[in-house]
Structure 1
Amino acid sequence: MKKEILKEIREPGKSRKKKGQPKGRRNGFLEGLTGKDFTAAGLFFFSLLLCRLFVLQYGVFGSSIDWISQHSTLADYFRKRFYATGNLFPDFAWNLGGGQNIYHFAYYGLLSPTMLLSYLFPFIPMDLWVMGSSALLYAADAVLFYQWISKKGLHYGNCLFTSLFFTCSTALLYHSYNQLMFVNYMPFLLLALLGADRHFQKRKSGLLILSVLGMILTSFYFSVGGLLALTAYAVTEYLKCGTENAAYEAEQENRKVSRNQKAGAEKKQMAGEKSSGTVEALAGLRSFFGAAIRFALPVLAGILLSGILLIPSAAALFGGSGEGGRGTAAGGIAGLFTDPAMWKPQFLILRLCYTPYGIGLSAFAGVALLGRVIGKSRLREKLLSFLLLVFFCIPLFGYLLNGGLYSKDKVFIPFLPVLCAEVGLYVENQLVRKRECGKNRSTGNFKRKVMTELRELFPYLIVLILMWNAKQETYFEPYWHLGILDVICVTACYLAWRWFPAKKQLRGRELPFLPLVFSAVILAFAGKAINQEKHVMIPRKTYEALTDSKIAAAIREIRAEDPGWYRMEQYGDGGQNLANVNRIWDIGQNVSTIYSSAYNAEYKRFRDETYGINEAFRNRMMQTVSDDPLFWQFMGVKYILAETRPEGYELYRDYGDFQVYRAISAAPVAYVTDQVVSETEYKSLPYPQNQEILETAAVIPDQEMRKTTAAIPDQEKSAESVDNFRAAADSDTKNGSVGPLFHSCFQKVNLEIPETDQEDLRIQKTADGYEIETKKSVTVSATLPGTAEGATLLAVSFEVENQKASHDMFIRINGQTNRLTGINHTYANGNTQFNYLVTMKEDGTVFIRMGKGHYILKNFETWTGMAQPLEKTEQLYSQAVTLIGGTTATYGGDGITGVVSAERDGYLITSIPYDENFVLKVDGKETLLFRANTAFLGAKIPSGEHKIVLVYHAPGRTAGSWCSLMGGMLALILVICEKKKQQNGSERAGESKMLQKQRKYYIIRV
């Protein structure tokens, strides 16, 4: 009796250790550490070992997909910009894409806590920081998941193998060095799950608030799925663990009601019992909603705190910028709910298994999920599995989590922790049922036992069928046999497990986790195969060549000698151009290229449709460098780092491995001119004259052109800008009203591609082009009869009709590439109009490389010519704007200040993409902006000397600041209220503890 009493009063923290839990260590400096701590450390180093075995032995911890061109380079740019301006919350990026709203790049870690921490370590190169932090975050995922799952009361072995199962997810490691934003929020999501437990158990919300904030700041796109997973977990945890509190409250209500009813007559007894049941239900419902509100408030505080990022990013995405994807479904987001196809279940097993662009677990995850749903247990215990099954199978959720653009499985990666937790619970339930079966093996109805065994075996059979049906999927085909082997092995382990009686042991040990162990091993092998099969690792030599410090030194040297306002770009092969598309070596360097999922739509439209730049890559969001010399001149690219000399450039300096070429006459980024043409006249010009004319004139809207013409008296028109410009034009150019505007230096010629009819290559001339069918990429040479004397430029234009629409095709002329993506690609570029403007070879030979495929070239046209005379371009660019302090000195780097002297009334023309959120002040007076050259900033400016201030205000920035302030106030209120409740609770706990000590003292005396 005394032992039982002492057992009841055992102090908290000294409870007996559960079976299967590791023992603590009490030797020397390890004193105080427990077995859980050593297990967590083992998982940490095991994760780093996987990084070494799967990635680092083949190169650096980065990839050639998005890591080298986006994640590492944009983070480096954010830090460089902060060091130059001191502005932690910028609005504009002058250096990228001609000038872009910086919230177009928010997705890539603009305010990520991991990236912000790097600002304290300027001596660590950003690419090394990104690699190291990604590997450490991956290891932290394993540790945090173990810390979370070990609090669920599971067997130690179950916790360990479930954590290994989580760590071996193909998505988790693969995207730690590829698309970082797919997984780098995971530590904060795991902390949020720990914070949810802490909130329910201790009524403390600090960890929950900070975790939600960190998750959103790190990856706001995937935080939506993370919040959904967190909410589903919180609801089910409350229903499982919070029902005791609800039952207690209901009991108190019943007691109050019963006391009031005791004075009543016996005839009201039945009505009283009904009322008691109703009160109990209402109390439970009231308790649930109260708990929901208490949970929602800290989550809301975390969301509001991130408003400084969320609202400007949403405004940038939906306020006229371009965005990747195929486009929103018909009817918009609302149309998804009314589409019957969105509610029709789809059982896509690969959404859960193996592919890194899904959750990336093994087939056992599907078995466990189905087993939890159809297993014999209470609804509140398997509610989370049921919700996960609904999220995974109903297409509506996939579209909603993808913003209505498409249904891609990557958005389900945030459900990885809760799905693994369900796997662990499934294994634990199997172990419990096995023990019960061993104790009561001889009892029970035979038919019931058979039905139970069939119900337990049913998920294995369903997953095996789904795996077999999915083996034809493109990305699953190379390793579908691993999936089938996985299902067969776990099924065999399950049968062996059920066959051995619970009381029997194998070499003194039970076999409770064999399916999970085998599945984790197969998943590790699958991860190894997937990482090797993708071929995206960057060899160390390639990485060192791309990040050669000599390039940075050369650019800094040029900037020191020529600190003006211009652009400077690198040009190399396809891999180099992709790697450098967002790379800024020095904060004074500006480029016209950009690769982002959001971008300025005006600029993108100008490149693709108006001007006609070649598209070398299959992803339409890649606005990479083009070797079109006229485009470089137009965009003010004064210096080019390349291996060969482009037309219109001269050698400036030779650095051995690369050369720097300087433009003979490149446009200033901003200048004043009165040599203008109307937009209607410009759009009437065909290719390549639409590029030529921008060397000698600027384009202004028709309305501004009419104002200019009306303001000039009739007798002065011949001496003024427009008519004076037209008077010097070539009257022989045949183009209607645009004919007398300029003298075209291009003339049409015939590019003759030799015909052939071979087994691997067929080239046949058609009425207006060529039909080409080749089984492999081939290079042919063509001639240009009738080339004009002194011609240095070659222009080619034709339409492409791809006869194998699902496959990519490309054509490269003198090194310049155009590519048409297969129609099934998510980011298909739709590039059916191939335009080329390249430097001619000295002997006039044209080299054409034709990619594998079958396609028809229609409306095939060719021109040769040269750039406009130097005196004409210099006349257009003679009144350039001179910056004061560069692009980092005004308004924290969000504005520029410059001076200009205009000889006559004219127009301010820039190559900064148009955005309505700019504010221009000329001599302190706000001036109306319009679209110049169809897509760039322009404004009317009078003659004389002027001071110009151009400032960008990101839309939603003010609202986001207020939102963050409100979130901070709400978080502060919640913390203060919890502190007060904790103090009041501690006082009552102190009194209870005193009574407990007195009781303990009395028992000892007795």
Structure 2
Amino acid sequence: MKKEILKEIREPGKSRKKKGQPKGRRNGFLEGLTGKDFTAAGLFFFSLLLCRLFVLQYGVFGSSIDWISQHSTLADYFRKRFYATGNLFPDFAWNLGGGQNIYHFAYYGLLSPTMLLSYLFPFIPMDLWVMGSSALLYAADAVLFYQWISKKGLHYGNCLFTSLFFTCSTALLYHSYNQLMFVDYMPFLLLALLGVDRHFQKRKSGLLILSVLGMILTSFYFSVGGLLALTAYAVTEYLKCGTENAAYEAEQENRKVSRNQKAGAEKKQRAGEKSAGTGETLVGLRSFFGAAIRFALPVLAGILLSGILLIPSAAALFGGSGEGGRGTAAGGIAGLFTDPAMWKPQFLILRLCYTPYGIGLSAFAGVALLGRVIGKSRLREKLLSFLLLVFFCIPLFGYLLNGGLYSKDKVFIPFLPVLCAEVGLYVENQLVRKRECGKNRSTGNFKRKVMTELRELLPYLIVLILMWNAKQETYFEPYWHLGILDVICVTACYLAWRWFPAKKRLRGRELPFLPLVFSAVILAFAGKAINQEKHVMIPRKTYEALTDSKIAAAIREIRAEDPGWYRMEQYGDGGQNLANVNRIWDIGQNVSTIYSSAYNAEYKKFRDETYGINEAFRNRMMQTVSDDPLFWQFMGVKYILAETRPEGYELYRDYGDFQVYRAISAAPVAYVTDQVVSETEYKSLPYPQNQEILETAAVIPDQEMRKTTAAIPDQEKSAESVDNFRAAADSDTKNGSVGPLFHSCFQKVNLEIPETDQEDLRIQKTADGYEIETKKSVTVSATLPGTAEGATLLAVSFEVENQKASHDMFIRINGQTNRLTGINHTYANGNTQFNYLVTMKEDGTVFIRMGKGHYILKNFETWTGMAQPLEKTEQLYSQAVTLIGGTTATYGGDGITGVVSAERDGYLITSIPYDENFVLKVDGKETLLFRANTAFLGAKIPSGEHKIVLVYHAPGRTAGSWCSLMGGMLALILVICEKKKQQNGSERAGESKMLQKQRKYYIIRV
């Protein structure tokens, strides 16, 4: 007896190998690896295989939508800027959009850990880094999800197939090479879910804090949904293990009293609870709120740590800057809560299924979600499914997650992991754990059995009906049959399992997972179909042409020869212009273009409304390059990389595949002049005189103009020239000069489009324009009778009434495009005023390409002319600001220093978009800034030589720094407290084990 007892007492540090455990090879490569490790590795390589089959065989791991124009190019710019300035937390981007608050681009990974890591590898091109990291993050998603779901106590096969189900989500792979911010936070979200488990089980919060921080820094927009998913999961996990938590709390409290006191306390507690009847409830609520606070603190620490990004980004988005692509909710956020429509449930099955702009799972996900809610189980077990159903069905949550401005299903992608976990639990509960239910099917109440079967079959029927009703949806129409097939297959598997329990083959281990297998396979086919149908992959040849190193070498060569302060842009076809809208080849290159969801509203309004730039793309956020020669001159675009020569430019260098043209007279980015007109007078000028006048004069606010005229003696006032601008705008070149500063070089002509009435094309002249109806895009040639001799520029302006408002239409004149988006498009540009200012053909022929549709052109006007005389433009730009050290030497790249010599009192005029957060110092004294040329920085400058310092301070930057500091302190306090508790707990546990060992040894000796 004594020997048997001694066998049960093992020495500390020694363990007994379990039966069936595989023997590892000593010092072998695979020693210590388990089946889970091999499964995780298999999922990793399976994910990479999907990348190869679905994307890479058609081109590079990138898309022609946003990847080529935003994600790869902006990340490259962030890294170039860091290498040039050494500033990890910048405030301003001089190179993009004429100069923008850099937090306008925070949405695209400004402080993303993945992109910051690339700073350590300058020898890896950023576009290759983005492609490789995106594919690896996608593979990491599969591995991390499997690591998380395998800790749920599910069957091994269930964990495997649920992980495959998660990996095959159409949203996950599709956005890994399209809109990266939709999914690149997913690894951190999965780590946060693991951190929640670790927090409740081990009382350790470090992983949770870092994961929340990483998720927000990667994609702050989608982190809101991620935090909501984390909170819902944490609540349900606490309720599931509430008994264990309560027992742990009781154990901690009971350790403080002696055994006798403990026994007496327990008796008193039971007596008190029995008499009051509410003791258990009060203790449960107190325990729940205590756990909620303990969970909220590490999450809060992670949020505060990210304050260096969150607060400046919020200030940039809502502090006066434009937000592209976002509507306006009536009544704001408060109006959403009072709107009854926001509370009316809507079960949109495509929010969950197939479309990559939703969660992107198969129909079985909807079945599992409804099955978990409808099924017979405890509330705490199906609470998460119930919460998910509420989030998905109540429109209010969709609007709130989208900032309260519109409802788009993309914001529900962060719920993908928890939804897949619920799918796995549904399979485990409904199929695996009911394996033995069939043995007693013949017993029991028949009516109850029928009701039970109907209740469990109901989710399949509901989803089948929803799928059938959604087959006409735009995104679902090409592959709705896959959704119907999915529902039929999983329903057949369920019926086979429930109705034929006596068959041993049908009760085997494989059958319960067949619904997941079928769904994963169908989802994979749907994913391949979606990727092919979207057809947004970039062919390798196209990608190589867009990223040709010869272009970068040419730009660096030009910068070495001409290191001044100017802008340099590329112009090509539509695809090239879109791809290069945010591309910066060299940190010394500056462009006037920008494509971002946030932007400087002053600059956007100037382009679209004041100046009248053509809009070539359907997305109103795209402020792409325009081949308007006068705009290039105004914005200081000194060099153009193009295939044809623009008016006002001369060939500078021929590189074979492309040519570089240099402006004869481009405006400096900043200069001093006294040739000014008032803003009121400028806004009275029609098109195209409103563009012409900026070649010879600058526009200042009326208040500044009144100060100037009041300071000048009456005989020296130049008010006469100001008063004559309106008359000059209405005159032609034959009337002689009517003002010393401005004389229009354009005159009206008639652009005659040939009328026709054919089956596929109808062009009919109206009283003030044309009515056009065409079934396909066509090109017609038109003539310009009465063109002035020597005219090199053509200006056309008209209004468009789209008779098919839900469809796009476009008109292209001599290669310059204007497009009107269909009204149903989320980012519709609303471009109903088409303006063109293009270089004329040598023979005077005008080529007009008309897009498919039916539309009416009203108030059709045409002018021909030429640029203003060179001596006038050179006089305006004669006093340019010369930079000292470029745009990267002052205040970590957030400021500039320059010198200028002014012959007379005048005004500092720039083409830097106006922002109230600039500080201008002239000779060390702060100077008031105003809007010059209606949308740009300007200031009054006295005569003489001056040193100018212009610095930008991003709003919210200081507050964000303090917020991050407080978050770091909170995180440190939490970690220290947890360490101390663990040390105290381990010491007490050691003492308890020693006492127990001594007690056992004493019993054995006795």
Q: C-alpha deviations, 1:46-70, integer Å up to 9, x for none?
A: 0000000000000000000000000
TM-score (normalised: structure 2)? 0.95
Q: CA deviation at 1:291?
A: 0.3
Does residue 773 of structure 2 align to residue 773 of structure 1? yes
Q: Please give the alpha-carbon distance, in whole angstroms, between the structure 2 residues aligned to 1:227 and 1:266.
A: 39
When residues 474 and 263 of structure 1 are mapped into structure 2, their CA distance, relative to the original with a 3 A threshold, is closer
Q: CA deviation at 1:258?
A: 17
Asked if the contact 2:496–2:506 (Cα under 8 Å) also holds between the matched residues in 1, the reply is no
Asked if the contact 1:325–1:827 (Cα under 8 Å) also holds between the matched residues in 2, the reply is yes
Asked if the contact 2:358–2:412 (Cα under 8 Å) also holds between the matched residues in 1, the reply is yes
Q: CA deviation at 1:404?
A: 1.2
Q: CA deviation at 1:243?
A: 2.9
When residues 901 and 988 of structure 1 are mapped into structure 2, their CA distance, relative to the original with a 3 A threshold, is same
Q: C-alpha deviations, 1:957-976, integer Å up to 9, x for none?
A: 00000000000000000000
Asked if the contact 1:79–1:119 (Cα under 8 Å) also holds between the matched residues in 2, the reply is yes
When residues 937 and 531 of structure 1 are mapped into structure 2, their CA distance, relative to the original with a 3 A threshold, is same
Q: CA deviation at 1:246?
A: 2.6
When residues 6 and 880 of structure 1 are mapped into structure 2, their CA distance, relative to the original with a 3 A threshold, is farther
When residues 627 and 991 of structure 1 are mapped into structure 2, their CA distance, relative to the original with a 3 A threshold, is same
Q: CA deviation at 1:902?
A: 0.2
Q: How many residues are matched?
A: 1006
Q: CA deviation at 1:11?
A: 10
Asked if the contact 2:350–2:470 (Cα under 8 Å) also holds between the matched residues in 1, the reply is yes
Matches within 5 A, 1:157-236: 157-236=157-236
Q: Please give the alpha-carbon distance, in whole angstroms, between the structure 1 residues aligned to 2:769 and 2:832.
A: 14
Q: CA deviation at 1:703?
A: 0.2
Q: C-alpha deviations, 1:8-66, integer Å up to 9, x for none?
A: 98999999999999997878321111010000000000000000000000000000000
Q: Please give the alpha-carbon distance, in whole angstroms, between the structure 2 residues aligned to 1:43 and 1:276.
A: 55
When residues 270 and 322 of structure 1 are mapped into structure 2, their CA distance, relative to the original with a 3 A threshold, is closer
Q: C-alpha deviations, 1:876-914, integer Å up to 9, x for none?
A: 000000000000000000000000000000000000000
When residues 270 and 38 of structure 1 are mapped into structure 2, their CA distance, relative to the original with a 3 A threshold, is closer
Asked if the contact 1:26–1:33 (Cα under 8 Å) also holds between the matched residues in 2, the reply is no
* Aligned residues: CA RMSD: 3.3
Q: C-alpha deviations, 1:453-507, integer Å up to 9, x for none?
A: 1111110000000000000001100000000000001101111122332771369
Q: CA deviation at 1:260?
A: 14
Q: CA deviation at 1:282?
A: 0.9
Q: Is the partner of 2:554 in helix, strand or coil?
A: helix
Q: Please give the alpha-carbon distance, in whole angstroms, between the structure 1 residues aligned to 2:169 and 2:498.
A: 27
When residues 591 and 510 of structure 1 are mapped into structure 2, their CA distance, relative to the original with a 3 A threshold, is closer
Asked if the contact 2:774–2:852 (Cα under 8 Å) also holds between the matched residues in 1, the reply is yes
When residues 928 and 832 of structure 1 are mapped into structure 2, their CA distance, relative to the original with a 3 A threshold, is same
Q: Please give the alpha-carbon distance, in whole angstroms, between the structure 2 residues aligned to 1:728 and 1:442.
A: 99
Q: C-alpha deviations, 1:150-205, integer Å up to 9, x for none?
A: 00000000000000000000000000000000000000000000000000000000
Q: CA deviation at 1:651?
A: 0.1
When residues 530 and 835 of structure 1 are mapped into structure 2, their CA distance, relative to the original with a 3 A threshold, is same
When residues 34 and 272 of structure 1 are mapped into structure 2, their CA distance, relative to the original with a 3 A threshold, is closer
When residues 774 and 3 of structure 1 are mapped into structure 2, their CA distance, relative to the original with a 3 A threshold, is farther
Q: Please give the alpha-carbon distance, in whole angstroms, between the structure 1 residues aligned to 2:354 and 2:231.
A: 26
Q: Please give the alpha-carbon distance, in whole angstroms, between the structure 2 residues aligned to 1:207 and 1:270.
A: 39
Asked if the contact 2:171–2:360 (Cα under 8 Å) also holds between the matched residues in 1, the reply is yes
Q: C-alpha deviations, 1:589-644, integer Å up to 9, x for none?
A: 00000000000000000000000000000000000000000000000000000000
Q: C-alpha deviations, 1:273-313, integer Å up to 9, x for none?
A: 55443221111110000000000000000000000000000
Q: CA deviation at 1:443?
A: 3.3
Asked if the contact 1:91–1:101 (Cα under 8 Å) also holds between the matched residues in 2, the reply is yes
Q: Is the partner of 2:652 in helix, strand or coil?
A: strand
When residues 25 and 578 of structure 1 are mapped into structure 2, their CA distance, relative to the original with a 3 A threshold, is farther
TM-score (normalised: structure 1)? 0.95
Q: CA deviation at 1:244?
A: 2.9
Asked if the contact 2:490–2:518 (Cα under 8 Å) also holds between the matched residues in 1, the reply is yes
Q: Please give the alpha-carbon distance, in whole angstroms, between the structure 2 residues aligned to 1:211 and 1:107.
A: 18
Q: Please give the alpha-carbon distance, in whole angstroms, between the structure 1 residues aligned to 2:927 and 2:1004.
A: 89
Q: CA deviation at 1:992?
A: 2.5
Q: Please give the alpha-carbon distance, in whole angstroms, between the structure 2 residues aligned to 1:720 and 1:855.
A: 44
Q: CA deviation at 1:88?
A: 0.2
Q: Is the partner of 1:502 in helix, strand or coil?
A: coil
Asked if the contact 1:729–1:740 (Cα under 8 Å) also holds between the matched residues in 2, the reply is no
Q: Please give the alpha-carbon distance, in whole angstroms, between the structure 2 residues aligned to 1:19 and 1:513.
A: 27
Q: Please give the alpha-carbon distance, in whole angstroms, between the structure 1 residues aligned to 2:729 and 2:863.
A: 20
Matches within 5 A, 1:512-523: 512-523=512-523
Q: Please give the alpha-carbon distance, in whole angstroms, between the structure 2 residues aligned to 1:22 and 1:686.
A: 85
Q: Please give the alpha-carbon distance, in whole angstroms, between the structure 1 residues aligned to 2:3 and 2:153.
A: 25
Q: CA deviation at 1:431?
A: 3.1
Q: Is the partner of 1:741 in helix, strand or coil?
A: coil
Asked if the contact 2:800–2:833 (Cα under 8 Å) also holds between the matched residues in 1, the reply is yes
Q: Is the partner of 2:277 in helix, strand or coil?
A: helix
Asked if the contact 2:205–2:298 (Cα under 8 Å) also holds between the matched residues in 1, the reply is yes
Does residue 810 of structure 2 align to residue 810 of structure 1? yes
Q: C-alpha deviations, 1:196-218, integer Å up to 9, x for none?
A: 00000000000000000000000
When residues 25 and 678 of structure 1 are mapped into structure 2, their CA distance, relative to the original with a 3 A threshold, is farther
Q: Please give the alpha-carbon distance, in whole angstroms, between the structure 1 residues aligned to 2:666 and 2:219.
A: 40
Asked if the contact 2:727–2:738 (Cα under 8 Å) also holds between the matched residues in 1, the reply is no
Asked if the contact 2:803–2:856 (Cα under 8 Å) also holds between the matched residues in 1, the reply is yes
Structure 2 regions of 5+ residues with no counterpart? none
Q: Is the partner of 1:926 in helix, strand or coil?
A: strand
Asked if the contact 1:906–1:942 (Cα under 8 Å) also holds between the matched residues in 2, the reply is yes
When residues 247 and 777 of structure 1 are mapped into structure 2, their CA distance, relative to the original with a 3 A threshold, is same
Q: Please give the alpha-carbon distance, in whole angstroms, between the structure 1 residues aligned to 2:914 and 2:9.
A: 74
Q: Please give the alpha-carbon distance, in whole angstroms, between the structure 2 residues aligned to 1:683 and 1:614.
A: 19
Q: Please give the alpha-carbon distance, in whole angstroms, between the structure 2 residues aligned to 1:64 and 1:7.
A: 69
Q: CA deviation at 1:425?
A: 0.4
Q: CA deviation at 1:990?
A: 1.1
Q: C-alpha deviations, 1:102-161, integer Å up to 9, x for none?
A: 000000000000000000000000000000000000000000000000000000000000
Q: Please give the alpha-carbon distance, in whole angstroms, between the structure 2 residues aligned to 1:908 and 1:721.
A: 21
When residues 820 and 21 of structure 1 are mapped into structure 2, their CA distance, relative to the original with a 3 A threshold, is farther
Q: Please give the alpha-carbon distance, in whole angstroms, between the structure 1 residues aligned to 2:735 and 2:498.
A: 85
Q: C-alpha deviations, 1:379-432, integer Å up to 9, x for none?
A: 000000000000000000000000012100000000000000000000000234
When residues 66 and 52 of structure 1 are mapped into structure 2, their CA distance, relative to the original with a 3 A threshold, is same
Of stretches 513-522 and 18-27 in structure 1, the one that deviates more from structure 2 is 18-27
Q: Please give the alpha-carbon distance, in whole angstroms, between the structure 1 residues aligned to 2:7 and 2:275.
A: 40
Q: Please give the alpha-carbon distance, in whole angstroms, between the structure 2 residues aligned to 1:18 and 1:932.
A: 80
When residues 11 and 319 of structure 1 are mapped into structure 2, their CA distance, relative to the original with a 3 A threshold, is farther
Asked if the contact 1:247–1:284 (Cα under 8 Å) also holds between the matched residues in 2, the reply is no
Q: Please give the alpha-carbon distance, in whole angstroms, between the structure 2 residues aligned to 1:765 and 1:935.
A: 38
Q: CA deviation at 1:994?
A: 2.5
When residues 691 and 225 of structure 1 are mapped into structure 2, their CA distance, relative to the original with a 3 A threshold, is same
When residues 528 and 20 of structure 1 are mapped into structure 2, their CA distance, relative to the original with a 3 A threshold, is farther
Give aligned-pair identity as a percent: 99
Q: Please give the alpha-carbon distance, in whole angstroms, between the structure 1 residues aligned to 2:501 and 2:646.
A: 79
Of stretches 428-437 and 622-631 in structure 1, the one that deviates more from structure 2 is 428-437
When residues 326 and 77 of structure 1 are mapped into structure 2, their CA distance, relative to the original with a 3 A threshold, is closer
When residues 24 and 37 of structure 1 are mapped into structure 2, their CA distance, relative to the original with a 3 A threshold, is farther
Of stretches 308-317 and 275-284 in structure 1, the one that deviates more from structure 2 is 275-284
Q: Is the partner of 2:656 in helix, strand or coil?
A: coil
Q: C-alpha deviations, 1:629-678, integer Å up to 9, x for none?
A: 00000000000000000000000000000000000000000000000000
Q: Please give the alpha-carbon distance, in whole angstroms, between the structure 2 residues aligned to 1:950 and 1:488.
A: 67
Q: Please give the alpha-carbon distance, in whole angstroms, between the structure 2 residues aligned to 1:30 and 1:270.
A: 54
Q: Please give the alpha-carbon distance, in whole angstroms, between the structure 1 residues aligned to 2:973 and 2:951.
A: 37
When residues 7 and 633 of structure 1 are mapped into structure 2, their CA distance, relative to the original with a 3 A threshold, is farther
Q: Is the partner of 1:158 in helix, strand or coil?
A: helix
Q: Is the partner of 1:264 in helix, strand or coil?
A: helix
Of stretches 147-156 and 320-329 in structure 1, the one that deviates more from structure 2 is 320-329
Matches within 5 A, 1:51-450: 51-246=51-246, 272=272, 274-450=274-450
When residues 769 and 917 of structure 1 are mapped into structure 2, their CA distance, relative to the original with a 3 A threshold, is same
Query: 1:563 is matched with which residue?
Result: 563
